[in-house]
């Protein structure tokens, strides 16, 4: 079992939502230092002040994960100050919820940069140190959208498919190396945060942020390969493998209402 005790933990997008909840959880579990990356300076300062007022060691860095220079600069500071990180949560993410033809080129570029490219660049900065120590755990917050298609979120789905494929490939590579190098891929259904405001799901329950954060932390401690929520998400590969595509569209899209879930979407980036 992986332990957060005396560990250095980095969470991207850690100033709000499940990022903040996971940060508070690892501190309560004994993390030596929590490092938060976020582009929201006000939110970052509030969270750092809140956690430090409780006696925890927290280090906040204002980082734009779409900017490789920003990533490299922040990572260099961490490697110099803390000798790298023990746990890396690639949590930062955005969504543009609309028909594909309504996207701008900028929408496409930014979504792929944040959701797909950034986790790879960030991991590349810290992975050599983990390999050198023979220990480290990378947790990639993907999505159930990385396992199935969905209207009105084509670019988001593309970014999460990308993240899922890379995360799994990375896991296989690291399992061949000596030491305790772990990758956990997280594929939740919609989480009830401002990011997914307006989403409706008549059958599959939308996940509460507190429950999502608690499960991710628990599955990380247990070194699970996948962390999926709610439990029915584990059935997606089964349905995809068993059903002809048109039947899958009917069962998942129509009967479960997934293909209508984004009709009233008004979430934020």
Helix (H, G, I), strand (E, B) or coil at 135: strand
CA 171 to mean position of chain CA atoms: 16
What's residue 195's pLDDT? 83
- Its pTM surpasses 0.85: yes
The C-alpha atoms of residue 181 and residue 138 are separated, in whole angstroms, by 8
Handedness of CA 54, 56, 59, 63 (dihedral sign): negative
The secondary element (H helix, E strand) that includes residue 44 is helix 41-52
Q: How many helices (H) and strands (E) does the chain have?
A: 9, 7
What is 8-260's CATH number?
3.40.50.720
What's residue 264's pLDDT? 76
Is 56 an active-site residue? Answer: no
What's residue 253's pLDDT? 86
The secondary element (H helix, E strand) that includes residue 87 is strand 87-90
Count CB neighbours of 254 within 10 A: 11
Q: Strand 87-90 and strand 135-141: pairing?
A: parallel
What's residue 268's pLDDT? 62
Helix (H, G, I), strand (E, B) or coil at 35: strand
The C-alpha atoms of residue 203 and residue 79 are separated, in whole angstroms, by 46
Catalytic residue (choose from 156, 190, 234, 248): 156
Per-residue confidence in pLDDT tens, the chain, 269 aa = 579 999 999 999 999 999 999 999 999 999 999 999 999 999 999 999 999 999 999 999 999 999 999 999 999 999 999 999 999 999 999 999 999 999 999 999 999 999 999 999 999 999 999 999 999 999 999 999 999 999 999 999 999 999 999 999 999 999 999 999 999 999 999 898 888 888 888 888 899 999 999 999 999 999 999 999 999 898 888 888 899 999 999 998 888 888 888 877 776 65
The C-alpha atoms of residue 123 and residue 222 are separated, in whole angstroms, by 21
């Amino acid at each position: 079992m992986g332990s957060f005790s005396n560990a250095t933990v980095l969470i991207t997008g850690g100033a709000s939502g499940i990022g903040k909840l996971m940060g508070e959880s690892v501190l309560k579990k004994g993390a030596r230092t929590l490092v938060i990356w976020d582009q929201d300076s006000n939110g970052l300062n509030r969270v750092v002040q809140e956690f430090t007022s409780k006696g925890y060691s927290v280090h906040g860095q204002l980082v734009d994960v779409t900017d490789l220079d920003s990533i490299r600069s922040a990572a260099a500071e961490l490697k110099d100050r803390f000798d790298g990180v023990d746990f890396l949560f690639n949590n930062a993410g955005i969504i543009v919820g609309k028909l594909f033809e309504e996207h701008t080129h900028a929408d496409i570029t930014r979504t792929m940069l944040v959701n797909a490219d950034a986790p790879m660049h960030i991991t590349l900065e810290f992975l050599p140190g983990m390999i050198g120590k023979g220990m480290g755990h990378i947790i990639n917050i993907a999505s159930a959208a990385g396992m199935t298609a969905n209207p009105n979120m084509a670019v988001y789905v593309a970014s999460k498919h990308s993240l899922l494929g890379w995360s799994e490939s990375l896991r296989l590579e690291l399992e061949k190396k000596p030491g305790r190098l772990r990758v956990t891929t997280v594929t939740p259904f919609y989480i009830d945060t401002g990011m997914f405001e307006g989403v409706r799901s008549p059958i599959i329950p939308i996940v509460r942020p507190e429950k999502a954060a608690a499960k991710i932390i628990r599955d990380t401690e247990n070194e699970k390969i996948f962390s999926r929520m709610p439990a029915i998400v584990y059935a997606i590969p089964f349905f995809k493998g068993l059903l002809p595509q048109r039947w899958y569209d009917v069962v998942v899209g129509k009967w479960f209402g997934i293909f209508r879930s984004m009709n009233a979407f008004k979430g934020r980036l």
